[in-house]
Amino acid sequence: MTAFDYRQGELHAEEVALSAIARQYGTPCYVYSRQAIESAWKAWDNALRDVPHMVCFAVKANSNLAVLNLLARLGAGFDIVSGGELERVLAAGGDPSRVVFSGLGKTADEMHRALEVGIHCFNVESAPELERLQQVAAELGVQAPVSLRVNPDVDAGTHPYISTGLKENKFGIDIVSAPAVYRRAADLPNIRVVGVDCHIGSQLTDDAPFIDALQRLLALIDQLAADGIRVEHLDLGGGLGVTYRDEQPPAPGDYLRKVSDMVAGRNLTLLFEPGRSIVANAGVLLTRVNLLKPTEHKNFAIIDAAMNDLIRPALYSAWMGIDAVRPRSDDAALDWDIVGPVCETGDFLGKDRRLALAEGDLLAVRSAGAYGFVMSSNYNTRGRAAEVMVDGGTTHLVRRRETVSELFAGESLLPEA
């Protein structure tokens, strides 16, 4: 039984009927399952129990404070990419000494704050960033723990917008230049080299590119050791894919066993930065059919969620499952484009979905726990959706729906005349 299953003809989140959530909190609404997040987390953590490790949840995938707090209670570390994400982790009770800071455009202020709270490591993405960090650490009179994000030039074989490990991508330091940058880092007085890092892309459904990257990183670690530079940890980033439709990504346990075997005997702590594989299938976007608009060419089901709520289909042509919360008899099924009310042709959540629909029906967009709410916007002056966490038979509103007045509260009119 998964966290989102049909019981008595109706889709539930754990023990709660989604229609009850729609009634109480309205739609559109993100619904997360505590149990699903916890079990996905444990699949990672348990698989690594025999090796020194730290699993740093990629906050960008879902940064709701309740989600972060749940993970912090389980002992998670966090991978952040901005000062904003750092503040979220702290507000959620996360341990700063278990935080890694990724991202290629860290500002001096962000570095300052991260040093002040004592994060585990900066994943430095360029030589100029290293110099900047040296300067900020010197001003504070501390040493900054550093790992270089190396670009191993492997093809992750995923969507071009989320593939990051090729030479032509903007991320990381190419593996050929890395030894020189490490030597520079080792010479800087306020930098302490602690690790090697990479992240090659997202939604990988095959572990071969990870293994390829790992081999290249291990060769680099050996080369560094020969130069007298010893690293304590190896961070393989995130990127493990999930099933949206029929993809068959490796189970975390299988992937992690291969990695652990390859680093055995090396005295390295393993770090990972999974996002999607912890939360994607722990959430749905609950939405209601507002109007049905059958035409000669196409049938449109106009729902109350839109691309501003969930942009993955519009941005990456991502396919996300869409199911009726209370399925009707298939006799009346038609092919529907499931579209939002936003004034863009790209505003669809699914195309040609065979469903039996009536106005007012509830739909669940599946696998929406990762890169869902976090990528939402206020386009068309639409308030962002509510977020609800289900725990067994209980629901918690973990972010209330935005009101229209909040949307322009920071704006002002020009002075008169």
Cβ distance 160 to 139 under 8 Å?
no
275 vs 301 by CB, closer to ligand LLP: 275
Q: Is the peptide bond prior to 28 cis by the omega test (within 30 degrees of 0)? A: yes
Give the N- to C-terminal CA distance of the chain in Å, as an integer.
66
Q: Does 238 bind ligand LLP (CB under 6 A)?
A: yes
Active site residue 343: yes
Per-residue 3-state assignment (H helix, E strand, C coil) for 213-246: HHHHHHHHHHHHHHCCCCCCEEECCCCECCCCCC
Binding mask 272-301 for ligand LLP (x = CB under 6 A): -xxxxx------------------------
Query: Is there a binding annotation on residue 118?
Result: no
- Nearest C-alpha neighbor of 19 from the set 360, 399, 396: 360
Binding mask 322-361 for ligand LLP (x = CB under 6 A): ----------------------------------------
Q: Where do the H-state alpha helices sit in 141-275?
A: 178-187, 208-226, 252-263
Write down the residue that tokens 């080369």 correspond to: 223
Of the candidates 371, 373, 382, 389, which one interacts with ligand LLP according to CB under 6 A?
A: 371
Of the candidates 98, 120, 288, 312, which one interacts with ligand LLP according to CB under 6 A?
A: 312
Binders of ligand LLP among 45-64, rule CB under 6 A?
58, 61
Q: Does 249 bind ligand LLP (CB under 6 A)?
A: no
Binding mask 95-134 for ligand LLP (x = CB under 6 A): -------x--------------------------------
Minimal distance, residue 203 CB to ligand LLP, in Å? 6
Minimal distance, residue 94 CB to ligand LLP, in Å? 16
Strand duo 283-294 + 362-365: pairing: antiparallel
Task: Please choose, out of 69-77, 210-218, 235-243, 340-348, the segment that lies near ligand LLP by the rule CB under 6 A.
Answer: 235-243
Query: Is there a binding annotation on residue 387?
Result: no
The site for ligand LLP, by CB under 6 A, has a size of 20
Three-class DSSP category at 262: helix
Strand duo 77-80 + 99-101: pairing: parallel
Task: Please choose, out of 231-239, 341-349, 359-367, 379-387, the segment that lies near ligand LLP by the rule CB under 6 A.
Answer: 231-239
Catalytic hit among 29, 56, 121, 343: 343
Non-local (6+) Cβ contacts of 403 within 8 A are 383
Cβ distance 322 to 348 under 8 Å?
no
Q: Which two tokens stand for residue 89?
A: 């982790």
Residues forming the active site? 343
- Residues of this chain that bind ligand LLP (CB under 6 A): 58, 61, 79, 102, 162, 199, 202-203, 237-240, 273-277, 312, 316, 371
